[in-house]
């Protein structure tokens, strides 16, 4: 820290950290528990896990509390912790048809195999403040649970798996199939290998999966508004739990170690008339937790950077992938708060010298007149 060189700098830094802790604990309310953040602010926790690139709800909730709700700082804390953990291996790729669905909709088709599953969402509510939120009594919670149980008592359980909606179009050869890497090829890992351009699609999707939600949305929105050429329709949006399957370190057999909550989006974009006749093109997005805006934005950008034109920022893979990481952008922005005395004094000296030269030349011109 550059402030350490200033007289009293260490004490000032320590006191600033203590003051931040006090800001989080001041007031008469009870301390906010990590379990409360994990259970009740689950969308915030899911967002932090995705941007922190670590699926760990308890740790993400702890990071949110430590950062006083600053999502970028919380994701930074989580990703920093991730770097201290040993890398044990890679999970085995699984098709999303094995997802344990909790929400699944399609904007492209009204009736889909398995039906539309609205699940848990506030998409269909008015954006009005609900002042009942101030009532945190156990009685209100029990009442709500009883209402839900009464309304769902006659419903049938969801099936174990759902077919992919987009396969309806694939059977009619109406989808441009994306070339997939060979299964025996080496896995590209953006956390170990530097991202080079042109980047393989797997690396692009990894970068976007750990990108900042707002950054992804900004670029995707620019494309949707006209600074791009993608007008998407959501073929299918899924939220659910994917099985985490790994190889046993001794026997080599594949077994299920647990499950991970993810959001998956497939968008249908404008059709093309390349080899194979007119067909729809597809964009894909998948991220940790329940984060539909991020998954949809990912899918739009996945499709837009495949255009190969780079006519707009959202179609330029290097521009997109270099500017969506919230940790990097936050770090670069915050570093300007650190001491830049030497740099600024140098700029100031040059400005004063340039001003003296300018004034001298102006005076000489006036004398000549």
pLDDT in tens, the chain (369 residues): 454 555 667 888 888 888 888 888 888 888 889 999 999 999 999 999 999 999 999 999 999 999 999 999 999 999 999 999 988 888 998 888 889 999 999 998 888 888 888 888 888 888 888 888 887 777 777 887 887 777 766 667 777 788 888 888 888 888 887 766 554 456 788 888 888 888 888 899 999 999 999 999 999 999 988 887 788 899 999 999 999 999 988 888 999 999 999 999 999 987 666 666 788 889 999 999 999 999 999 999 999 998 878 788 999 999 999 999 998 898 888 888 888 888 888 999 999 999 999 999 988 888 877
Specify if 141 maps to a domain. Answer: no
Specify if 138 maps to a domain. Answer: no
Q: State whether 104 and 211 are in the same domain.
A: yes
Q: State whether 75 and 186 are in the same domain.
A: no
Specify if 368 maps to a domain. Answer: no
Residue 263 in 3-state DSSP? Answer: strand
Q: State whether 100 and 66 are in the same domain.
A: no
> Taking the alpha carbons of 199, 233, 270, 311 in that order, is the dihedral positive or negative?
negative
Q: What is the pTM of this model?
A: 0.88
Phi, then psi, of 104 in degrees rounded to 5: -160, 115
Q: Answer whether 239's CB lies under 8 Å from 290's CB.
A: yes
Specify if 69 maps to a domain. Answer: yes
Specify if 70 maps to a domain. Answer: yes
**Is residue 198 reached through a cis peptide bond, with omega within 30 degrees of 0 on the bond before it?**
yes
Q: Answer whether 288's CB lies under 8 Å from 55's CB.
A: yes
pLDDT of residue 9: 74
Q: State whether 41 and 109 are in the same domain.
A: no
Q: State whether 110 and 251 are in the same domain.
A: yes
In which domain, by residue range, is 234 found?
96-121+158-329
Q: State whether 216 and 321 are in the same domain.
A: yes
Q: Answer whether 66's CB lies under 8 Å from 52's CB.
A: no
Specify if 164 maps to a domain. Answer: yes
Q: State whether 61 and 17 are in the same domain.
A: yes
Q: State whether 200 and 255 are in the same domain.
A: yes
What single DSSP character describes residue 282?
A: E
pLDDT of residue 274: 63
> Taking the alpha carbons of 121, 125, 127, 129 in that order, is the dihedral positive or negative?
negative
Specify if 313 maps to a domain. Answer: yes
Q: State whether 18 and 162 are in the same domain.
A: no
Q: State whether 103 and 78 are in the same domain.
A: no
Q: State whether 66 and 195 are in the same domain.
A: no
* In the chain, alpha helices (H): 9-25, 34-40, 42-52, 57-66, 71-82, 138-151, 167-171, 201-209, 213-225, 292-304, 317-322, 326-334, 341-368
Q: State whether 74 and 112 are in the same domain.
A: no
- Residue 59 CB coordination number (10 Å): 21
The total of structural domains in the chain comes to 2
Specify if 365 maps to a domain. Answer: no
């Amino acid at each position: 820290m550059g402030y350490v060189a200033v007289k009293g700098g260490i004490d000032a830094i320590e006191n600033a950290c203590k003051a931040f802790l006090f800001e989080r604990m001041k007031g008469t309310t009870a301390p906010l528990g990590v379990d409360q953040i994990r259970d009740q602010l689950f969308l915030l926790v899911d967002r932090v896990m995705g941007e922190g690139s670590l699926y760990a709800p308890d740790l993400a909730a702890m990071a949110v509390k430590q950062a006083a709700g600053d999502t970028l700082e919380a994701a930074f804390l989580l990703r920093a912790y991730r770097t201290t953990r040993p890398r044990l291996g890679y999970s085995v790729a699984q098709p999303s048809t094995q997802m344990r669905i909790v929400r699944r909709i399609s904007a492209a088709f009204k009736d889909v195999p398995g039906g539309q599953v609205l699940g848990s969402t506030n998409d269909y509510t008015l954006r009005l403040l609900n002042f009942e939120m101030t009532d945190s009594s156990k009685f209100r919670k029990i009442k709500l649970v009883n209402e839900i149980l009464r309304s769902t008592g006659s419903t049938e359980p969801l099936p174990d798996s759902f077919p992919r909606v987009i396969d309806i179009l694939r059977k009619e050869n109406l989808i441009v199939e994306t070339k997939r890497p060979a299964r025996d090829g080496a896995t590209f890992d953006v956390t170990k290998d530097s991202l080079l351009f042109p980047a393989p699609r797997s690396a692009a999707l990894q970068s976007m999966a750990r990108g900042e939600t707002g950054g992804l949305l900004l670029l995707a929105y620019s494309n949707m508004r006209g600074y791009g050429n993608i007008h998407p329709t959501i073929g299918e949006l899924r939220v659910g739990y994917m099985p985490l399957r790994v190889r046993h370190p001794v026997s080599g057999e594949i077994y299920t170690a647990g499950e991970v909550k993810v959001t998956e989006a497939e968008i249908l974009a404008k059709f093309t008339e390349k080899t194979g006749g007119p067909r729809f093109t597809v964009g894909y997005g998948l991220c940790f937790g329940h984060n539909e805006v991020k998954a949809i934005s990912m899918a739009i950008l996945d499709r837009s950077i495949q255009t190969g034109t780079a006519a707009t920022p959202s179609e330029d893979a290097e521009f997109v992938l270099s500017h969506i990481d919230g940790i990097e952008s936050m770090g670069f922005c915050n570093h300007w708060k650190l001491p830049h005395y030497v740099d600024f004094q140098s700029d100031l000296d040059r400005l004063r010298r340039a001003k003296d030269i300018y004034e001298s030349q102006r005076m000489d011109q006036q004398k000549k007149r």
